[in-house]
Structure formats: structure tokens, C-alpha cells
Amino acid sequence: MVQVLGDSIVVSATDLVGYLACDHLATLELGRAQGLWERPPRREDPELVLLQERGVEHELAYLERHRAAGRSIHEVQLRGPTTLEELRAAEAETLDAMRRGVEVVYQATFFDGRWRGHADFLLRTDRPSDLGAWSYDVADTKLARGVKAGALLQVCVYADRLTTLQGVPPERLVIVTGDGVEHPERLADYAAFYRTVKARFEARVFGDLPAPDTYPDPVDHCRVCAWFPTCMDRRRADDHLSLVAGMTRTYTERLIDDGVPTLADLGELPADRAVPRMNPRPLRRIRDQARLQLSGRRAGALLYELVPPDPEAPGHGLAALPEPSALDLFFDIEADPWALDDGLEYLLGVAWRDGNGTHEYRPIWGHDRRGEKAAFEAFIDLVIDRLERDPQMHVYHYAGYESGAIKRLMQRHATREDEVDRLLRGQVLVDLYQVVRQGIRASVESYSIKSIEKFYMPVRAGPITEAGFSVVEYERWLRDRDTAHLRDLAEYNRDDCVSTLLLRDWLEVRRRDAIIDQGWSMPRPTTTVAEPSESLTVCTRGGPAGGCSRRPVGTDRGGGGALAPGGAARLASPRREAGLVGVLPPAQSLDRGPRRRDCRTGRARVRRRGRTVGPVDRPPLPLRSSPGLEDPRR
Ligand code: SF4
């Protein structure tokens, strides 16, 4: 937070990280520091409170590790300094502990007259410095499971001042991620990046140049930013293009450059009007989206349109809907990213329609790793049982979280691999978010399920109506074990499952409209029967070691029995023999090749100079839903 202390502007490592995330944030913070405007009142946000609590717990756990190892610790007493004098005193206390050679300095404070910084830890090393035969490295605890650029930038600020105080630069910047893992990084690898960002930021804050004209374009940081209400109000007042569902920053810039600055302008853009540097297809898509949002706004009603089939993308949109089956399942997961070391998928919910047409719902809980494994196995067994009874059944979900979680749980627990392979290769999972995005146009700012369900179900009631609050509710249960929390969570999850079921039904009606009213061709997707995945084929050939005992089931949605000697070519497949099968593209298969993924999170890892910098982190709590920041499940 940019501060004015005495006659000086004082900035912090957090300000620099915020500047990296959003240029407009620096504008707002500087204006506030100069007394031009106020920050919006802080609303009670249980999710942010949860994040803060978890952060403190993580920090204290790391402190406890050092204490348990018998290291000498100095805890800087002067917390939250608010004046120049206090800041100087807190740094003096830090320096005194360093000169005494304390092994761990906790809550180290730095202040050079302009920059303030509060490093979680300084760790003594054996490298000589002006202090004596030792010096210090910096360590900071972060809840994220991977090392982010912002975290490194932050510790670079501390390292900068630490270099001055001890006379030598620290060798390592240590980020302690939420799973307790220490990630040592070399300062030299980030110094140039840090200097560049810092120089730009200082020119902005302390320079004489006029302030640039920034705009609150949506960025990831909006999810946790205190200025969110201010920025959202500004976008609405401006009828900004970011209010158009599916809009990107690049499109926004190109449209504004060409004199199309608002949603209304875009909605009224003539169909034959081109925009430089924009391909006609995406332009048509966002123009049609803006037009419908504009119509809905003017009519004061929710509107939707059917998107005609795209000859260049057959099988997409409504044409991706498989034939309904009485055994279809509707699936939704609740997860707590902060539970245990690596997050917990604590509730797998499934709904289905019983013989009377009413909804059944089954919550499958797992409150620890063993429970999570048992819940996953129970869910997979439920699906396989139905698949055996009707090979045409499907599991519907909304957006990619559920399919990703299935792979992640399979890998984490090393169980039900063949069954999952069977589900993935047989395209049993159907993502209705893709169907909606490609097949329907709606007059909403976001295609999240909570926005889309306004078309087919009443507004939800109940204690939990937002995903982020479900995490908070589960965390409350972890603390007080009051079963009322679990009851509320099951209710919330059931609503999500039933919403997915009702969405499928609503889309089926839209598909029928498309065929009957529009005369569009909407063939059902071809049922796929995949070849066995590579590793399974290797197994059937004896494999490299010749001893793999994996049962090669799951290569045929209609089958599932053991593979006949001779491998994939001899798989019994009634539907293939009947000429009903298609070939699954390789990309759809379960990748068992060399991993470029974090095996715990299933997310892609970023590689730099042969080293893993970190996984693209698990998404943070879905704190806010905002146009331009769509979280489709929420
Ligand atoms: S709400 Fe978003 S756009 Fe506004 S200042 Fe914060 S990060 Fe920037």
C-alpha cells in the first residue's frame, strides 16, 4: 500500500507486485496517497479472511520447523510500524539480530527511506559478509503450491536492502510453498527482471513525468483487489467492452483503436464492418454476443439464441450432445485447496433421474486421503456399473474441473487407472460448458453455470450460493465438526448436480428446436471405441519387462473384459463390428507418456532453463466473478 509518511512517499514490495499485476492499481493507490480519492470500504469477505488465516498458519508452521530443529530465533518485536521512526527502529532491530548471528530472523523489516519490506524469514548461511563469517538468505512463505513471479519479485525487494545491510547479496531466495516445500532460487536469475520492473515503478511513483492514462481492464488480480468495486463501477459507467462475455484484452484494444469503445457500439456494429487486425470469425462472435447483451439490456429480459452449426467444426455445440440415457449421471466436485498438504477433493456429488422422473442425489465424502481415495473409487465404480448396464450412458459436468480432478485423483491414489482410461477414451465425460459456449448465445456477461441456469431454474436459496463460500464452510467444519456445515455443503453440491441435469435437459430441447424450427442437421456424436492406450498395448505384448499384469480393460465402452492374446487388434468390440465406431483422436487419450505436468495438481509446469520454476498454480479460491474473469463453474 503506497503511503505518505511525513513528507515522504513510502512504497512496499506488495506495491511492486501489485504494479506488475495491474498498472491501474498504481494509479489508484497513488491517487489515494495524494488524497484524491478513498479506497472503497472493505467488505467482510470470509474467503479473504480464510486466506489470511491459512497464510499465518503456514508461516507459523515454518517457524516451528526451525524451532524444532533447535535453531536460534529472533522475532522482530516492532510489528506493523506506521511511522518513519518506527520503520527505522524495526530495521535497526533486524540488523542487530543479524550482527549477533542469530540463525533465523523472523519478521525481518527493511526500510531505506523509500522502500519498506517485511521478509518472513532471514536464514543464516556460512558465507562471509560485513557481518562476520556469516550472511543471510531470504525466505518467504506463500500459500500457493508453485513459485510465482510476484513472489520472487517480492523477495528481490528484500534482497536488495539485505545486500546493502550485510555487504554481499544473498545467494538464495527461498519460497516456501503451501505444501511446505522450500524452493531455493538464485538471486542472479531474477536480478535483471527485478531491476527493470523496479525502475519502471519508481519512474511512475517518484518520477516527474505526467501519470499515464490507465484503465481498469480486468486482470487476475481483480479477484483479490480491494479496488474491485471502484473498477467495476467504472466499467459499467463506461459500458466498457470487457462487459461483453468472451471479450479479451487484445480484442478490446483493437476495437477501441478502431473507434468501437463500448458494448453498445460493438452491438450495433454493422455486419459488414471490418476491424483492422481482427479476423472476421472472432469479430462476428463477439459482435453477436454484444448485440444480444444489448438487446437483453434494452428489453430488460434474458435472451438466448441458437448458434448455427459451424461447417468447419462439425460435432461442436449442440451437435456434441449424445443420446440421453436413463442411466446418465450429473457430476460435480467440491474441493478445498487448503486442506491437507495438497488440497482435498472432499465431496464427489452425483445426481440422476430415477424411474419416476425425480432427481436422486448421492454425496460421496472423503475427509482425509484414505477417504478421498475411497470416495473416488466409489464414484468410478458407480459409473462403470452403469456403463456396463448401458454403454451409451454419459457423465455430464460443467467445465474442465471434474475431468481434470478425475485424472488427478487417479494419479494421486494410483487406482482405477484402467477404468479412468476407459472413461476418457470412450468420451463418457461430457462437458456442457463447451456445448453451451459453442451452441448457445445468451444475453449474459458470463457463461458461468450460475449465470446460465437463470434460463432453466429458479434463483437458488440456501446458506451457500457461491463456490468460494463452500470452501469457507468446509474449513469451518474442519474446525468445529458441526455436521450442519456438511448438510449445507451437500445441499449446495446437490443444487450444482441438479442444475447440470436440468441444463442437459434444457439443451436437449434447444437441440430439438434447432432441428425442427431451424432445419439444422444435428447428428448425434459418433460413439467412439478407442484403441488401447500405448502403455496398455505394451502390457499386452509382454511390455519391456514382459511382466505387466495390468488388465487391459477400458478399451471398449461396450466391452471391458480382458484383452485377448494378440493385443488390441483382437479386442472384442460389438459396436466396432457393427460399423458404429469412430476413432478417438490421440489427444483425447489418457497421456501416460513423460510428464510435463505436476503429478499432484495435474497442472502444467513451467520449465525454464531445464529447471521447473513451478506449476501454473492451482486456481486460487474463486473469490469473485467478474466479466472478463470467467470461472465457468461458478
Ligand atoms: S480491481 Fe482489477 S483493474 Fe482495478 S485496480 Fe484492482 S486489479 Fe486493477
Q: Which pLDDT value is given to residue 616?
A: 27
The residues, ordered by sequence, that sit 6+ positions from 522 with a Cβ below 8 Å of its Cβ are: 309, 318, 319, 511, 514, 515
Q: How confident is the model at residue 627 (pLDDT cuts 50, 70, 90)?
A: low
Q: Which pLDDT value is given to residue 598?
A: 34
Q: Any idea what DSSP says for residue 546? A: S
Q: Please choose from 227, 236, 243 the residue to mutate so as to test ligand 1's pocket, defined by most ligand atoms within 8 A of CB.
A: 227
Q: Which pLDDT value is given to residue 92?
A: 96
Q: Which residue has the higher pLDDT, 460 or 157?
A: 157
What one-letter code names the amino acid at 348?
Answer: L
Kindly state the cell numbers that stand for 592: 501416460
Index of the ligand 1 atom closest to the CA of residue 21: 7
The interface pTM score, or ipTM, of the predicted complex is 1.00
Index of the ligand 1 atom closest to the CA of residue 25: 5
pLDDT digits (tens, 9 = 90+) for 112-154: 999 999 999 999 999 999 999 999 999 999 998 889 999 999 9
| Residue bearing the CA closest to ligand 1, atom 3 | 216
Cβ of 18 less than 6 Å from ligand 1? no
Cβ of 245 less than 6 Å from ligand 1? no
Cβ of 19 less than 6 Å from ligand 1? no
Phi then psi dihedrals of residue 254, to 5 deg: -70, -40
Cβ of 240 less than 6 Å from ligand 1? no
Q: Which pLDDT value is given to residue 3?
A: 86
Index of the ligand 1 atom closest to the CA of residue 225: 6
| Average pLDDT rounded to a whole number, residues 627-631 | 56
Cβ of 219 less than 6 Å from ligand 1? yes
Length of the chain: 634
Count H helices, E strands: the chain? 19, 17
Q: Which pLDDT value is given to residue 597?
A: 33
Cβ of 28 less than 6 Å from ligand 1? yes
Q: Which pLDDT value is given to residue 101?
A: 98
C-alpha 298 – ligand 1 centre gap (Å): 28
What one-letter code names the amino acid at 232?
Answer: M
C-alpha 121 – ligand 1 centre gap (Å): 29
C-alpha 630 – ligand 1 centre gap (Å): 15
Cβ of 216 less than 6 Å from ligand 1? yes
C-alpha 231 – ligand 1 centre gap (Å): 6
Index of the ligand 1 atom closest to the CA of residue 216: 3
pLDDT above 90 (res 456): yes
C-alpha 377 – ligand 1 centre gap (Å): 42
- Give the rounded distance of the alpha carbon of 447 from its chain centre: 16
pLDDT above 50 (res 605): no
In the chain, what percentage of residues exceed pLDDT 70?
A: 82
pLDDT digits (tens, 9 = 90+) for 48-102: 888 888 999 999 999 999 999 999 999 998 777 779 999 999 999 999 999 999 9
Q: Are 145 and 177 in contact (CB under 8 A)?
A: yes
Q: Which pLDDT value is given to residue 529?
A: 55
Q: Rounded distance, CA 252 to CA 259, Å?
A: 11
Cβ of 73 less than 6 Å from ligand 1? no
pLDDT above 50 (res 282): yes
Q: Which pLDDT value is given to residue 629?
A: 55
Q: Rounded distance, CA 366 to CA 374, Å?
A: 7
Cβ of 22 less than 6 Å from ligand 1? yes
| Average pLDDT rounded to a whole number, residues 611-630 | 38
Cβ of 24 less than 6 Å from ligand 1? yes
Could you give the count of Cα atoms lying within 13 Å of 92 in the half-sphere of its Cβ?
7
The residues, ordered by sequence, that sit 6+ positions from 469 with a Cβ below 8 Å of its Cβ are: 46, 47
∠ Cα 157 163 164 (to 5°): 100
Q: Please choose from 219, 223, 234, 626 the residue to mutate so as to test ligand 1's pocket, defined by most ligand atoms within 8 A of CB.
A: 219
Cβ of 623 less than 6 Å from ligand 1? no
C-alpha 297 – ligand 1 centre gap (Å): 25
> What is the crossing angle of helices 149-166 and 187-206, to 10°?
90
Cβ of 627 less than 6 Å from ligand 1? no
Q: Which pLDDT value is given to residue 631?
A: 59
pLDDT above 80 (res 390): yes
Helix (H, G, I), strand (E, B) or coil at 243: helix
The residues, ordered by sequence, that sit 6+ positions from 80 with a Cβ below 8 Å of its Cβ are: none
| Average pLDDT rounded to a whole number, residues 274-294 | 96
Cβ of 225 less than 6 Å from ligand 1? yes
| Residue bearing the CA closest to ligand 1, atom 1 | 228
Q: Which pLDDT value is given to residue 444?
A: 97
Cβ of 142 less than 6 Å from ligand 1? no
Q: Any idea what DSSP says for residue 597? A: B
Kindly state the cell numbers that stand for 489: 455443503
Index of the ligand 1 atom closest to the CA of residue 217: 3
| Residue bearing the CA closest to ligand 1, atom 5 | 25
Q: Please choose from 17, 28, 231 the residue to mutate so as to test ligand 1's pocket, defined by most ligand atoms within 8 A of CB.
A: 231
Q: Rounded distance, CA 234 to CA 240, Å?
A: 8
Q: Please choose from 19, 23, 25 the residue to mutate so as to test ligand 1's pocket, defined by most ligand atoms within 8 A of CB.
A: 25
Average pLDDT value over all residues in the chain:
84
Index of the ligand 1 atom closest to the CA of residue 23: 8
Index of the ligand 1 atom closest to the CA of residue 28: 5
C-alpha 147 – ligand 1 centre gap (Å): 22
C-alpha 80 – ligand 1 centre gap (Å): 25
Index of the ligand 1 atom closest to the CA of residue 18: 7
Kindly state the cell numbers that stand for 499: 442444475
Index of the ligand 1 atom closest to the CA of residue 221: 7
C-alpha 615 – ligand 1 centre gap (Å): 25
